[in-house]
Amino acid sequence: MITNQTMTIIRKIVIAVLLLGAVACGNADKVPSNILSKEKMRDILLDMNMADAYSYDISPMRGVPLPDSMRQLKVKEYYRQILDLHHISVKEFMFSYRYYESHANRLKEVYDMMQASIAEERKALEGEDRRQQYADNPGSFFPYPKNTVISKKQDTIFPFLKRKH
């Protein structure tokens, strides 16, 4: 037999559970305060990806790849500089990165934000490049006339190929 006192305790427990559930659902998209925000993580990871890409192109003789051990040392140096620029310690970054790794949906959101940021930047750069090329030569037929190659073997035009200088 359930007494009034037991019923009151059960109601309080049910109300507490419902309140906790409502609070948890309201913060479902929020990142804890001790974790880097999605925007900050996006910016750091974008810089790190650029550092990785750049590390392949730092050979003094261009075209001759650096040995992997030297490239890894350079990447570590770049990462350290990136974290310093963002005023983040390695420990803080790794703690946040592990959090995002363990929450795949949030990590995916960060990567989606990275892709959107890159797409915006590419669009802006391509637009500026096109405007500059047209300003230099308004009568040009091709969108990128300076990058057009005319074959010497045939009279075919290959547009949009970058010339190697």
The predicted pLDDT at position 121 comes to 84
The predicted pLDDT at position 101 comes to 92
DSSP string, 133-155: HHHH-TT-SSSSGGG-EE-SSSS
DSSP string, 25-43: HHTTTPPPTTS--HHHHHH
Question: For residue 87, what are its two tokens?
Answer: 């005023």
The predicted pLDDT at position 38 comes to 93
- What is the mean pLDDT of each successive set of 10 residues along the chain, which is 165 residues long? 72 69 57 89 91 72 70 87 91 94 93 92 77 64 49 47 44
* Contact (Cβ atoms closer than 8 angstroms) between residue 71 and residue 56: yes
Q: Who's near 142: CB < 8 A, 6+ residues apart?
A: 148, 157, 159, 160
Q: Who's near 80: CB < 8 A, 6+ residues apart?
A: 90
Report the predicted TM-score, pTM, of the whole model to 2 decimal places. Answer: 0.59
- Cα gap 144→129, rounded to integer Å: 9
